Amino acid sequence: MTSIGSIDFSLNGRFKGGAAFRLIRPSKESIDFSYSDHRILLAPSTPFAVIQSPGLLSNADSIHYIRTHLEEAFDMLCILGKGSFGTMGTDEEYFAWGYPDNPLEVEYNDSLVFPMRGRAHGDLVPNSQCREIEIPEKPLPKYHVGFRYFRQSQISDDLFDAYRNMFLALESLLSTKSPKCSGESEASWLRRALENESTILNLVNLTPRNCADPVGEIIEIIYKKTRCSLFHAKNGQPTYLPLNRPEDRISTADALRVLSALVVQMSRSWHAISRPSSSFNLELGKEICEKVFKSTTVAVSDNMTTGCNDALDSLKRSSNIISSLKSTEISGTNTKPILMGLICAKQLGYLKEICSMYFVRHEQLLFNRDFETPLRLSDANGLRVKLRIEFENADQPKNRFLR
């Protein structure tokens, strides 16, 4: 049987498909729970939850379908007092199996994120006598309680929680500048307050070009469409349920970019906040991928390492490295190239389990992935690797979250 950690599962038994998602914290006890024709397995010291499905995973959307069943099962376990569990996130590390084209292959999915930022270094400039003079530091701006909500948004690992805190930051800053009147609705107050400050906040830069009503467009995005769906859960009303529909997360992440930019602009305009700012063309990321990951190969080991230096030493020493693998390829989308490769079972030879994966180019280690638990492919034909390459502007407010 195939297994991950101490959880065994078969690829050709009653359950045809399934997935293993990384947990926030491993379970303290073994759990075998049936929910809606699916089977959920957890075990101590295994950082993944396994869910088995009675049918094959028909297409790429199936992973979201099966995750929905897992999240509902976790809801039931929690309300029944049998444990509180959570997965790391919708786009994070997971294994899947049971796709029709290759039902006996295990597919490994993960993301590799490159933060990018621009910096102008140096704090000395020449004066008229060509002597360098020190630029004085700007005085520290006056504190505002809205900064607390902004910080809570930035340290959160949950997208919806981050949005709620960012909206509270907006409410705090905006109500200080333009207090809400008695009996005034939330939407009316937002329109009045933002219209009064539209010019100084330069709101036209936060909306599509030639937008006829920038204030109305911003309110539609951050309030009517997103805030109301996140802050309320009344039956029959539009609601964004955590870890549910992928399109809700995409819509919330897009709205958070607008909301964060608005809060930053308020802080700059009203409180003299100065923070780093830079931009870059995402096409640059694709060019980097083409150059850096060209001719990359995948190697695996039954050793678990603790860092890149240890991984490189292990790569040089270990006799359990599978070195002659199919070269990975770059397959493009508009902004997220994918690094792909296939490790056939016959290439594993006498290697009984996989604990670490190395991405190597010209005998140099680029990076490694440690599963933190053994993966055994006893009845699998191979391990297919799909690594999404993403780039983010590290000078902008946080917009990528684990959950």
**What pLDDT, in 10s, does the model give residues 344-396?**
877 777 778 888 888 887 777 888 888 888 898 888 888 888 888 877 777 77
Among residues 386, 316, 318, 402, the alpha carbon closest in space to that of 354 is found at 318
Pairwise CA distance, residues 261 & 138, whole Å = 22
Residues 6+ apart with CB under 8 A from 260: 153, 166, 396, 397, 398, 399
Domain-embedded: residue 131: no
Inside any domain, residue 8: yes
Say if residues 134 and 378 touch (Cβ distance below 8 Å): no
Give the sign of the dihedral formed by CA 227, CA 22, CA 91, CA 402. Answer: positive
How many angstroms separate the CA atoms of 262 and 253, rounded? Answer: 14
Indicate whether 192 pLDDT > 60: yes
When pLDDT is cut at 50, 70 and 90, the band that residue 325 belongs to is very low
What are the start-end ranges of the H helices in 119-196? Answer: 146-155, 159-177, 186-196
Rounded to an integer, what distance in angstroms lies between the CA atom of residue 85 and that of residue 68? 14
pTM of the model: 0.79
Examine the fold and report which residue of 212, 241, 271 is the final residue of a domain before the chain moves on: 271
How many domains does the structure of the chain reveal? 3
Q: What pLDDT is stored for residue 293 in this prediction?
A: 77
Q: Is the pLDDT of residue 132 over 70?
A: no
Same domain, 290 and 227: no
Q: Does residue 115 fall inside a structural domain? A: no
319 pLDDT tier (thresholds 50, 70, 90): very low
Instruction: Tell me what the mean pLDDT of segment 286-314 comes to.
Output: 70
Whether residue 18 is found in the same domain as residue 84: yes
Mean pLDDT of 90-97: 78
Structural domain ending residue among the three candidates 222, 244, 271:
271
More confident residue, 308 or 76: 76
Same domain for 255 and 152: yes
In this structure, the answer to whether residues 160 and 255 fall within a common structural domain is: yes
Q: Average pLDDT of the chain?
A: 81
CA end-to-end distance (rounded Å), the chain = 31
User: Do residue 177 and residue 228 come from a single domain?
Assistant: yes
- Judge if 149 and 266 occupy the same domain: yes
Lowest mean pLDDT among 101-115, 221-235, 267-281: 267-281
Residue pair 94/109 in contact by the 8 Å Cβ criterion: yes
- Residue 9: beta bridge partners? 2
Q: Are residues 89 and 152 in the same domain?
A: no
The helix (H) or strand (E) run that includes residue 307 is none
Residue at 120 is within a domain: no
Residue 44 has pLDDT above 80, yes or no: yes
In a domain, 402, yes or no: no
> Residue 151, SS3?
helix
Q: Which of 51, 77, 101 is the last residue of a domain?
A: 101
Task: Give me the percent of the chain exceeding a pLDDT of 90.
Answer: 21
Say if residue 251 is in the same domain as residue 359: no
* Nearest of 376, 337, 380, 357 to residue 297 by alpha carbon: 357
**Of 29-33, 66-70, 116-120, 283-287, which gets the smallest average pLDDT?**
116-120
The Cβ of residue 328 has, within 10 Å, a number of other Cβ atoms equal to: 22
Confidence of residue 302 (pLDDT cuts 50, 70, 90): confident
Whether residues 146 and 260 fall in one domain: yes
Q: Do 215 and 265 share a structural domain? A: yes
> Does residue 299 carry a pLDDT above 90?
no
| Same structural domain, 169 and 96 | no
| In the predicted structure, residue 308 carries a pLDDT above the cut 60 | no
Lowest mean pLDDT among 32-46, 139-153, 164-178, 320-334: 320-334
- At 33 the pLDDT is 94
Query: Within a domain: residue 207?
Result: yes
Range(s) of the domain holding residue 318: 282-391
Q: What is the DSSP letter of 117?
A: -
Note the pLDDT of residue 318.
46
Inside any domain, residue 137: no
Span 280-288, average pLDDT: 71
Decide: 103 and 16 in contact? Cβ < 8 Å. Answer: yes
Instruction: State whether 295 and 320 are in the same domain.
Output: yes
Contacts of 134 by beta carbon, 8 Å cutoff, 6+ apart: 123, 124
Residue 122 lies in a domain: no
